[in-house]
Amino acid sequence: VLSVSLLILFYFTLSVEKINTTRGANFLKQVNFTSPLNPHIPVSSEDLRKIIPQHVAYWNRLFHSALTNIEEDNYPSRREYPWSACMEENRDILRINVHDFDSYPPLFQTYLKGINCRSPPILINQPMKCNNHTFLLFAIKSSPANFERRQAVRETWGRDGVYQNGRRVR
């Protein structure tokens, strides 16, 4: 009786597996699996020129200037100014290049003044580093197709929280 019961149980197990395997195989034939991201999306500089307006923002003018230089194989050499003299202090020049310069917050204005500064002095073990609740802001520009990559950053080192030292990441 025991051996017959085991044989029947074994038979039903095989039968169920066969049915599930057949259903699974049929389901796989019906479903079209594709990658959620296209790994390579060809974009020409002409496409970018159409999408990004040229004369609206300072950053767009810089971008269009760079595109023109690339298309013409013209790579102008940058002048290296000493760190102590690279900040643009002439507000009239800044206002000509950045039409709404005065509307920018003070930190952005400081950034624009030093946009051409390339080689800062290296200071190691500064005695006053990171006092006064210093913060760092990452602004990451990416295409909508890279959502999964941005989400991976959000879920790892970029996640919201308060750490043991009381620092908050938002």
pLDDT one-digit tens code per residue, 45-82: 777 778 878 777 777 888 888 888 888 887 776 667 77
Would 165 be classed as within a structural domain?
no
The rounded mean pLDDT for the chain is 71
pLDDT of residue 5: 66
User: Residue 33 pLDDT > 60, yes or no?
Assistant: no
Residue 164 to residues 100, 130, 167: CA-CA distances in angstroms? 41, 16, 7
Residue 7 is assigned to a structural domain of this protein: yes
Enter the pTM of the model: 0.40
Among 79-88, 118-127, 144-153, the least confident range: 118-127
116 assigned to some structural domain: yes
Domain assignment present for residue 112? The answer is yes
Would you say 13 and 121 are in contact if contact means Cβ atoms under 8 Å apart? no
pLDDT in tens, 132-152: 766 666 666 677 777 888 788
Q: Are 114 and 120 in contact (CB under 8 A)?
A: no
The range of the structural domain enclosing residue 21 comes to: 1-32
Number of domains present in the structure of the chain: 2
Residue 1 lies in a domain: yes
The SS3 of residue 149 is: helix
DSSP output for 16-77 = HHHHHHHHHHHHHHH-----SS-S-----HHHHHHHS-SSS-HHHHHHHHHHHHHHTT--PP
Q: Specify whether the CB–CB gap between 45 and 52 falls below 8 A.
A: no
